Each structure stands twice: as C-alpha cells, then as structure tokens.
C-alpha cells in the first residue's frame, strides 16, 4: 500500500520536494538542475509548514502564485473541478511552478449527504479535468467542509488517495481582514502543521507577502502537503494530519455552505 502511494506520488509530482523525504535529493544535484529549481527541503531536518488553499482556482490565484514564486515557497491547492474547467490557465500554472494539486470535488457538495455514485462522479470528474488541463492527476483528496464518512474513505482508498484535512485554520472566509488572517495563521502555525486558507478570499491573497515573510522569519519552510507527509506517507484512504478528523473545531474553520461564502462562480469573469 505504501509503495503504491509512493509510486503514484512520484509519477504525478513535479521533481521538486513532493517525495524528497522518501528519496532525498542531494543539494549538489539540486544545484545542477539550474536556478529555477528550488532546493529540496527535508522536513525531518528543518521546520516545515504546509499552506493549503481550497475551492480554487480562485480569481486571485495568479497574484497568489506571484507571491509564492517571489518567496520561493510551495503551496497545495485543493481545487474544484468546475473552476479548473473555467480557469485552466491558473491550474496549469500551479503545476508548472511546482505546487501540489489536490481533489476538492467538482461542485463542492456535502459528501456525507450524497449518494455513492455522486461521490464517485464528483471525485473522478475532478481527477479527469485536472489531468486534462495540467497533465497530472491529483494524488490527495480534501472533502468539501472537511466532511466525510466511511463511504468516502472507501472510495478514496479505491482511488489510491489519502484524505487530507488540516490542523490549523485561518478563518479567512469569515473575517475577510488582512491583519486577522495574518495573526490567526501565525497563532496556529506549528512545525509540520497544515493550514487551511482560500484563494478566493482577496484579503488572503493581499496579506500573503507579509504572511510568508513572517513565517520565514520564524524559520518555516513552506512546502506541499506531500513534502510534509514524506517518509510517513499516508496510505490510500487514511487521514492526514493524524488525528485531525477528531478535532471538533475543524469544521468551524471551513465555510458553512452559505452561498455568500463562495463568492465566485464559473461565470464571474476571470
């Protein structure tokens, strides 16, 4: 199982940091690959954190990618198939620039209330559109609202993918305030933490240069979730970070499903 997961990861990941802990690359080798390649980060040795962005590609994703590029940092984007279809260039750019893409369903339904066929369709259609647009399949699933049940877990297992939740929120969708978002993330930041944010929240994108600078000042390396998982590679159907599914405050970090929380549509012009 572990081997299968590692192989799947290796095949679909750009050769940056995604599986560096499984198979560390030497620094000298990394230098040979040229200046555009980031030096691989070994999270066993340095302080890592994974910043994750749900519901995109959002209309501000381009600006967010500029910021990550400038700070030589990596993010993980849990994308909705419907927006990959409407903003393919953003999804493609995420992969080209070495970020990780995860599956966040096609239309963001409550999976616990959906039929098994619907769950499968939502996940498989998103796999397909991401592959079509970026050339790579997502290797992880984050269910909308962080909600799942044993059917979702079983389907994830069949699809060969772990379920990725988070253990630190930003409440960006609720506060829509740059300082509040910055301070909330710093409050929740911890080594090997997984932070939830949204690239459709304009204030999140605006505060990101300051936030990345603050985190870097504290010694953090911003890496993809798969880099964090590294040697501890999660098996298909397993939940990561370990124990996050038991966190009762977890769902309060995620938008409640109020349409206002999803202030974008495929037709919003970007």
What are the Cα distances from residue 192, in Å, to 48, 162, 227, 228?
A: 5, 17, 10, 6
* Cβ count near 265 (within 10 Å): 11
Least Å from the CB of residue 55 to Zn ion: 4
Least Å from the CB of residue 54 to Zn ion: 4
Asked whether 22 and 3 are in contact (CB, 8 A), the reply is no
Residues 31-45: b if buried by 16+ CB within 10 A, e if exposed: eeeeeebbebbbbee
55 noted as active-site residue: no
104 noted as active-site residue: no
Positions in the binding site for Zn ion (CB under 5 A): 54-55, 144
Catalytic residue among 54, 172, 199, 238: 54
Q: What angle do CA 33, 7, 133 make, to 5 degrees?
A: 70
Asked whether 43 and 227 are in contact (CB, 8 A), the reply is yes
C-beta closer to Zn ion: residue 54 or 178: 54
C-beta closer to Zn ion: residue 68 or 78: 78
C-beta closer to Zn ion: residue 42 or 55: 55
Catalytic residue among 99, 108, 182, 198: 198
Least Å from the CB of residue 39 to Zn ion: 32
Least Å from the CB of residue 255 to Zn ion: 7
Asked whether 166 and 196 are in contact (CB, 8 A), the reply is yes
Find all residues with CB under 8 Å of 201, minimum gap 6, and list them: 58, 172, 173, 176, 181
Least Å from the CB of residue 61 to Zn ion: 14
Helix, strand, coil abundance in the chain, percent, nearest 5: 45, 10, 40
Q: Which helix or strand (DSSP H or E) is residue 78 part of?
A: strand 76-79
C-beta closer to Zn ion: residue 96 or 265: 265
C-beta closer to Zn ion: residue 143 or 162: 143
Q: List the catalytic residues.
A: 54, 198
């Amino acid at each position: 199982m572990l081997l299968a997961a590692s192989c799947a990861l290796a095949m679909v990941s750009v050769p940056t940091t995604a599986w560096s802990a499984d198979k560390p690359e030497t620094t000298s080798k990394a230098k040979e690959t040229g200046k555009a390649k980031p030096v691989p980060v070994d999270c066993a040795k340095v302080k890592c954190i994974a910043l994750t962005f749900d519901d995109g590609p959002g209309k501000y994703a381009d600006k967010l990618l500029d910021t990550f590029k400038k700070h030589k940092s990596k993010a993980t984007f849990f994308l909705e198939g419907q927006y990959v279809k409407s903003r393919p260039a953003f999804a493609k750019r995420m992969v080209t620039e070495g970020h990780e893409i995860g599956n966040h369903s096609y239309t963001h339904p409550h999976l616990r209330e959906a039929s098994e066929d619907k769950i499968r369709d939502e996940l498989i259609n998103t796999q397909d559109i991401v592959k079509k647009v970026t050339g790579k399949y997502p290797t992880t699933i984050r269910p909308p609202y962080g909600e799942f049940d044993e059917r979702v877990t079983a389907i994830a297992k069949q699809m060969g993918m772990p379920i990725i939740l988070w253990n630190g929120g930003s409440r960006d969708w609720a506060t829509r305030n740059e300082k509040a978002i910055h301070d909330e993330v710093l409050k929740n930041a911890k080594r090997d933490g997984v932070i939830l944010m949204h690239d459709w929240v304009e204030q999140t994108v605006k505060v990101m240069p300051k936030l990345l600078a603050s985190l870097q000042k504290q010694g953090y390396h911003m890496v993809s979730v798969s880099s964090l998982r590294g040697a501890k590679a999660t098996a298909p159907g397993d939940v990561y970070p370990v124990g996050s599914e038991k966190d009762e405050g977890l769902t309060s970090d995620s938008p409640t499903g109020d349409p206002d929380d999803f202030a974008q549509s495929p037709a919003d012009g970007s």
